[in-house]
Amino acid sequence: MHEATSRSTLKLAVAPGVPSSHLSALLARQRAEEPDVALAFFEVTGDVLLQGLLEGRFDIGVSLQDASDPALKSQPLWIEDMAVAIAPRFHLLDQAKLTIADLQDHTIYRWQAEACPLLDESLISLMPVDRENVQRVPSFEMMALWVAAGYGVGLSAQSRIDHAHGWGSLCGRSQTAPLRS
C-alpha cells in the first residue's frame, strides 16, 4: 500500500570545524519549515565533501572552505568574528582591542580547519622574517591546550573560543579579545 505522505531525504555532508551552534540553529529552522524532509548526516573531510557533491553522493555540504570547483555553487551561511585566546598571564590582556601587529612577538596557534587566507596573509606579512611564529595545529583542542599552558596565543572563531571557556582547566582560564585588522 502506498503511503499518503512520502518523506524525502536530503543527504547533508558536514566538514570538520563547522561551528555546531550555528549549524544546529540552521537545522532547527529547516526542521520547523520543512518537517517532511528528513536529513541524513555525513561527517566527512573537506576533500570527501567536495568529491561527494560532484559525484552526487551528497545533496548539500557545509564547510568552512569555499567551493573551489566551478561546477558547484556556494554561499556563506553565517559570518564569524575572529578572536584571540590568551592565557591569563599574558600582558596582552591589558589592551581592550588588539591588532595583528600586537601579536608579532608571540607564537600564534592556528587550527588548520579554520583557514582564512586574508588573515593568514596578514599574519605572515607582519611576522619577523627570521622566525616562524604561526604554528598550525590539527585541532581546536590542541590550540586551546597550547594557549592555556602559556606557549602562545590562539586565533579562532569568537564563538568557538567563547564555548571553550566552559571546558575548565584546559581553556577556561584563557581570555578572548576582539581582533582588528
Give pLDDT, residue 54: 93
Report in angstroms the alpha-carbon separations of 137 from 26, 96, 145, 151.
28, 27, 10, 13
Cβ atoms of residues 42 and 12 within 8 Å: yes
The grid coordinates of residue 176 equal: 578572548
pLDDT one-digit tens code per residue, 6-32: 568 999 999 887 867 788 888 999 999
pLDDT one-digit tens code per residue, 43-64: 998 889 999 999 999 999 998 7
Give pLDDT, residue 171: 37
- Burial-class residue 116 by CB neighbours within 10 Å (0-12, 13-18, 19+): middle
Confidence of residue 170 (pLDDT cuts 50, 70, 90): very low
Q: What is the pTM of this model?
A: 0.67
